[in-house]
Amino acid sequence: SPSTASIQTESRPQKVCLCPFLPPQPLEVSTCLYVVQHPAEESRVLRTVPLLAACLPQGKCNVIVGRKFSEEKHPELAAVCRDSRTLILYPGPKSQNLEELLQHQAIGTINHNVIIIDGTWSQAKNMFLQNSLFHLPKQVQLNRTLSSSQYVIRTQPSNICLSTLECAAVALSILEQNDTIQEVLLRPLKALCSFQLQHGAQIHHSKEHLLRNGMYEKPMPKNKRKIKRMEKLVSDHNICPR
């Protein structure tokens, strides 16, 4: 069975404690999230998934850590992937806009499962491509998004790319038809970033912003595919570089 982590927000010094920014009671949602997390995310200090889990009821945010997932080793996850109510949040040419999908359903008739891949953009892409189970659910993407990521203490590839918590917040607000959910879930993330900036962290602009404004200081890649991907970041305003 999958190693489902029941996570709490990490203990923090009282003056930067995030508890006051969490909802007094877990948010009531009918949607069930399955966060498939790249192992490298576990060791990161400033993660968004523990904040997400702390805002939702037990069993509504299931975290499964790994790179490869098979029917034999992960029968519960495989069952979720085969469930007709399951959606996987991953942008691409085969993805359907989540809001458009819901227009064809009667309100409140389906309790969806949503799979979200948690990792860097390249890690998420590899996990999606290498796991055939993830090609079974209906693939959806968010056309309604935030103006820019609030997760300013970690670099995003482009201005419209979001953290795992932000993706979940937007998706849940659409699926539950309740915009308050997005506000409540973003509150602890904004507090986390604010505390970090007050204590010396720097704002991380997206790679797209740095390239557009001549601020990208790393050596440019020699690999043609990587160069093409970086050119796409500058030329295309509307997609994340999956």
Q: What is the pLDDT of residue 143?
A: 83
Bridging pattern class, strands 138-141 and 96-97: parallel
Q: What is the pLDDT of residue 11?
A: 52
Residues with Cβ within 8 Å of residue 52, at least 6 apart in sequence: 33, 35, 61, 164, 165, 168, 169, 185
Confidence of residue 95 (pLDDT cuts 50, 70, 90): very high
Confidence of residue 39 (pLDDT cuts 50, 70, 90): very high
pLDDT of 84 strictly over 50: yes
**Do 156 and 42 meet the contact criterion of CB atoms below 8 Å apart?**
no
pLDDT of 105 strictly over 90: no
pLDDT in tens, 194-234: 656 565 554 554 444 444 555 545 565 556 565 455 344 34
Q: What is the pLDDT of residue 191?
A: 79
Query: Which residue in the block uniquely carries the two structure tokens 């458009």?
Result: 100
Determine the Cα–Cα distance for residues 166 and 149; give it in Å rounded to an integer. 8
Nearest Cα neighbor of 144 from 162, 130, 123, 128 is: 162
Rounded to two decimals, the pTM is: 0.73
For the chain, percent of residues with pLDDT exceeding 70 = 63
pLDDT of 164 strictly over 80: yes
Sign of CA dihedral 8, 38, 65, 142: positive
Q: What is the pLDDT of residue 197?
A: 59
Q: Which residue has the higher pLDDT, 67 or 109?
A: 67
Q: What is the pLDDT of residue 109?
A: 74
For residue 42, give Cα distances in angstroms to 26, 63, 154, 157.
23, 11, 15, 21
Burial 72-98 (b: 16+ CB within 10 A, else e): eebeebbebbeeeebbbbbbeeebeeb
Q: Residues 20-26: what's their mean pLDDT?
A: 88
Q: Residues 41-57: what's their mean pLDDT?
A: 83
Mean pLDDT of the chain: 76
pLDDT in tens, 137-148: 999 998 865 545
Residue 231's SS3 state is helix
